[in-house]
């Protein structure tokens, strides 16, 4: 007959290809739906309407994780490195400035033609006096951003946003051996939180700062302290915007992060840079061995690096306001530190803050 033959792929080949494509498409569609839900929540917050906490179920988290955010972030990183033609730079950067509300008057170089690619534009430096460092208060904001939460750590749980917590030990990982730290040995029966507190009468405090895409992307030392250890957790790169942080419990424990620990004049001090979608690249200026967003990693793994050696008994000293590192786009900084009971935060949840402004003092 004149009928055309219908050619079909082998059944085994169909089942090898189709599930992955369906999973990615479903996960991507669901992520888009969540973005829309986040937008609606932000609008309610702007109107002063309190939004009830609704946590994601295990299957929703698993579905979100099915989106290849690590692969997409690496692709985004390579795209950022592509040099733009001079005539195209101003239109591209102007669109970004308009979308995210970037204040270019603070930039050390205001001429948009100066930035060869998106990566250079994201990591732009500020004018020397654009962010004066507060000399009066003991702890300053390490970056520009939005205060998601702050306060005293209780029952080994930390709030990422109001009403949504994560485990202190899951976030920081097992306690570092006392040989690598300056701290005294805590009694083995104490909780993880109590083991971090080195001085009698002190408490453990935390502060979460969210960096939006339009914010200044470098982060600085929040106080005078000594960094003795780095712990790198490979992981997912889910969005960390306030809407997702309100939706996924222990979001910061799922995502890739770099934990810097050490001590300041009141005891334990830590700064954690949390990665996010399109922010697989976390750079610490004094740590050349750190490589984030690798193509493969073991689930639940982490790697440690000590800055204390035979040639360096103290670690890396950092002065308040000194350059510490940078993100590729924007993400989250989490401070967890020990301080006396009379330490007070000078903050309000949800407020915008800039690098150099006071977080709190004694």
Cα-based distances in Å from 212 to 209, 341, 352: 10, 32, 11
Most distant pair of Cα atoms in the chain: their distance: 93
3-state class percentages of the chain: helix first, strand second, coil last, to nearest 5 = 30, 25, 45
Active site residues: 144, 220, 331
The residue ranking higher by pLDDT, 228 or 237, is 228
What percent of the chain has pLDDT above 70? Answer: 81
pTM for this entry: 0.81
146: its two tokens: 């939005």
Mean pLDDT value across the chain: 82
pLDDT tens figures, 11-51: 444 445 454 455 455 545 645 655 566 666 666 666 666 56
58-65 vs 11-46: helix crossing angle, rounded to 10: 110
User: Strands (DSSP E) along the chain, which ranges?
Assistant: 139-140, 145-152, 157-161, 164-167, 202-210, 218-220, 225-233, 257-264, 267-274, 282-284, 303-306, 316-318, 323-327, 332-340, 344-345, 352-353, 358-361
Look at residue 265 in the predicted model and tell me its pLDDT: 93
């Amino acid at each position: 007959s004149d009928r055309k033959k219908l050619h079909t792929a082998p059944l085994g080949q169909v089942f090898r290809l189709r599930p992955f494509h369906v999973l990615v498409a479903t996960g991507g569609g669901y992520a888009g739906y969540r973005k829309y839900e986040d937008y609606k929540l932000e609008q309610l917050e702007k109107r002063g309407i309190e939004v009830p906490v609704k946590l994601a179920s295990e299957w929703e988290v698993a579905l979100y994780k099915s989106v290849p955010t690590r692969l997409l972030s690496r692709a985004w990183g390579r795209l950022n490195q592509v040099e733009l033609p001079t005539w195209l730079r101003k239109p591209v950067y102007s669109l970004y400035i308009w979308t995210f509300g970037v204040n270019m008057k603070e930039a050390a170089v205001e001429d948009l033609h100066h930035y060869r690619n998106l990566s250079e534009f994201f990591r732009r430096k500020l004018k020397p006096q654009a962010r004066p460092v507060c000399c009066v208060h003991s702890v300053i904001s390490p970056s520009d951003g939005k205060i998601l939460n702050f306060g005293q750590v209780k029952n080994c749980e930390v709030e990422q946003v109001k009403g949504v917590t994560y485990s202190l030990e899951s976030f920081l990982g097992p306690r570092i051996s006392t040989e690598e730290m300056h701290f005294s040995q805590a009694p083995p029966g104490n909780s993880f939180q109590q083991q971090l507190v080195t001085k009698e009468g002190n408490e453990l405090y935390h502060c979460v700062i969210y960096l939006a895409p339009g914010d200044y992307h470098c982060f600085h030392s929040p106080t005078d302290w000594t960094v003795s250890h780095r712990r790198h957790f490979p992981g997912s790169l889910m969005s960390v915007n306030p809407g997702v942080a309100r939706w996924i419990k222990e979001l910061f424990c799922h995502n890739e992060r770099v934990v810097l620990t050490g001590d300041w004049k009141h005891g334990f001090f830590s700064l954690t840079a949390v990665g996010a979608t399109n922010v697989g690249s976390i750079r610490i200026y004094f740590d050349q061995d750190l490589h984030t967003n690798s193509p493969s990693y073991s689930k639940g793994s982490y790697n440690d690096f000590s800055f204390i050696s035979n040639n360096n008994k103290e670690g890396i000293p950092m002065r308040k306001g000194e350059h510490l590192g940078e993100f590729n786009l924007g993400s989250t900084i989490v401070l967890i530190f020990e301080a006396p009971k009379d330490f007070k935060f000078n903050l309000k949840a949800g407020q915008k803050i800039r690098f150099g402004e006071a977080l709190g003092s004694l």
